[in-house]
Amino acid sequence: MGLAMHEFPPPPRSSKEKLVNGTGHVEDQVPGGLTPSHSMDMDIVAESSTSGRIIHEMDVNETYLPVLHVEVRLRPGSNIQSGHLRQIVSSYIQSNHDILVPETLLEGWEDVDILQRRVDRIWIAERSDGSSLPIPSSDVELGVYIYTPTLGVQTEDFGADTEDRDEEEGDHVPAATVKELPAPDIDGLWDNLIYSDDLKERLLRYIFATMRFADAGIDSNVISWNRMVLLHGPPGTGKTSLCRALAQKLSIRLSETYFRGKLVEINSHSLFSKWFSESGKLVQKLFTTVEDMASDQETFVVVMIDEVESLTAARAGAMTGNEPSDAVRVVNALLTGLDRLKPYKNILVMTTSNIAGAIDPAFVDRADIKEFVDYPPPQAVYMILSACLTEIMGKGLVQRQDIAPWASLAGSRINGAGASGMSPSATLKHLAIQCHKYTLAGRFLRRLPVLSYARYLAATLPPSDHRPLPLSTWLSAMERVIQDEQRSRTVIAEAEGHRGDKTGITKVKVDAEN
């Protein structure tokens, strides 16, 4: 794959030379993430000695096809040359599927013997042009990625112990967790994260843009980038999950360049040692470990620092005399450590914060991208709940019934009287609007089915009755849980407000009807 974002099988050789990477696949980088059509001509003008690629000049009248990314997950223990399997998958898709739908599982490949024996799943991922519409297989180039998840969840803790006395007292607090990628426990997470815009695609484009610059040998003293992303927004909106999913996605997409992937999750709350002046040493030790990982050029490392506002609060308190100066040392050591990672092109730093107003300016200044992750809008809520219902339909808990796409409900009228009398899809739209009105985060939305079953459905069924329930019954239970959640939040907010009255804090008012 090289460092290119898009990869596809080679066309038949012609009298004109084509750009070919080390795996024997055509790999042309052009603006917008598109690849030249097989029929176009290219004039070779030079060969790059640093990357092994052929630099070419293209006719301005050439046409381009979007790339459709295909991710092939192998069975554990499969041993097959990735280039050979990539060709088989590409040939099968082009020969047997006239129309391809992004973000869906490919079907029918089990009929091919070698695929049935070696492959566990084939996922049709996103299109490079950003469209989610079905497309003829003849109108796309295929970027096929072969990967095998690690056997089991392989993690190790980096302890917050800098002295033997900590270990003797049993005060081991992990400062970071290191996970081998691709990891089976987060495989598929990327596909189930739903946002209101193209946030995921923007992050991917950013990563591959920085890698393209590094691969081209751009002088970072002239054009600077830090490979650091800051995600901020309310709790429960999927920031941490997005960091993990992005790390997993990169370990798959870059598997031809980096044979190993690691996710280092730093626990910012544990970066403060109880022993004065040792916190800075701990941070230095942590980043030295990360540098040791990155020194292996075949390993791609994603460093995730969750809730960086906790560090901000510590430094702010230290500046006002409320915290010891050791807090300043640890934050400064952290910022210095981030700067030490900048020369490594195989490192990405992801940071998250729940409190936008408390983010340290030093972090903001270092981040190339700052993305606000808000509560999901109605359309995203509808898609999340649809995915949940589709999952439990497939497992036999709900009677199978088609759920209409959100776009087909655009003209339907939803009143505020509840879900009674609506079609299932209209009812689901009504629930999505209610969830958005109450600012319910994705974390709660994905708990909604199990809460609905536990509170309002399980008690109505005999233990031996495992028949799937009607979809309307589930939707009614889900609506009741949503109302319960809003009432609970209102009570909590009012209680917080009463406590605030005693300390001079303005009381929070929440209207459950708005």
Contact 237, 375 (CB under 8 A): yes
pLDDT at 277 over 60: yes
Indicate if 452 and 305 belong to the same structural domain. no
Predicted structure pTM score = 0.78
Indicate if 358 and 223 belong to the same structural domain. yes
C-beta pairs of 325-328 under 8 Å, 24+ apart in sequence: 326/272, 326/273, 326/276, 326/277, 326/278, 326/279, 326/280, 327/272, 327/279
Q: How many domains does the chain have?
A: 3
Indicate if 270 and 188 belong to the same structural domain. yes
Give percent above pLDDT 70 in the chain.
74
Q: How far apart are CA 476 and CA 404, in angstroms?
A: 18
20 domain residue, yes or no:
no
26 domain residue, yes or no:
no
384 domain residue, yes or no:
yes
Q: Which of 33-37, 196-200, 362-366, 413-417 has the lowest mean pLDDT?
A: 33-37
Q: How far apart are CA 71 and CA 85, in angstroms?
A: 12
Residue 183: CATH number of its domain: 3.40.50.300
328 domain residue, yes or no:
yes
* Alpha helices (runs of H) in 127-275, residue ranges in sequence order: 164-168, 199-215, 239-253
Indicate if 330 and 384 belong to the same structural domain. no
Provide the 3-class DSSP secondary structure of residue 70: strand
Check residue 466 and give its pLDDT. 84
Check residue 130 and give its pLDDT. 86
Q: How far apart are CA 319 and CA 307, in angstroms?
A: 20
Q: How far apart are CA 268 and CA 266, in angstroms?
A: 6
pLDDT in tens, 177-233: 999 999 999 999 999 899 888 899 999 999 999 988 988 989 888 998 999 999 999
Query: Which residues have a Cβ under 8 Å from the Cβ of 368 and sit 6 or more positions away?
Result: 206, 210, 225, 226, 227, 228, 229
pLDDT band at residue 303 under the 50/70/90 scheme? very high
pLDDT at 18 over 70: no
pLDDT in tens, 44-102: 333 333 333 333 444 545 678 999 999 999 998 888 888 999 999 999 999 999 999 99
Indicate if 437 and 311 belong to the same structural domain. no
Q: How far apart are CA 305 and CA 352, in angstroms?
A: 7
16 domain residue, yes or no:
no
pLDDT in tens, 441-497: 999 999 999 999 999 998 888 878 888 999 999 999 999 999 999 999 999 988 877
pLDDT at 169 over 60: no
| Cα-Cα end-to-end distance for the chain | 51
Over residues 327-352, mean pLDDT: 89
Indicate if 127 and 186 belong to the same structural domain. no
Q: How far apart are CA 341 and CA 288, in angstroms?
A: 10
Check residue 70 and give its pLDDT. 97
pLDDT: is 436 or 175 the higher one?
436
pLDDT band at residue 14 under the 50/70/90 scheme? very low
pLDDT band at residue 16 under the 50/70/90 scheme? very low
Give percent above pLDDT 90 in the chain.
52
Indicate if 392 and 361 belong to the same structural domain. no
Residue 127: CATH number of its domain: 3.10.330
Indicate if 268 and 356 belong to the same structural domain. yes
Domain that holds residue 141: 67-147
355 domain residue, yes or no:
yes
Mean pLDDT taken over the chain: 80
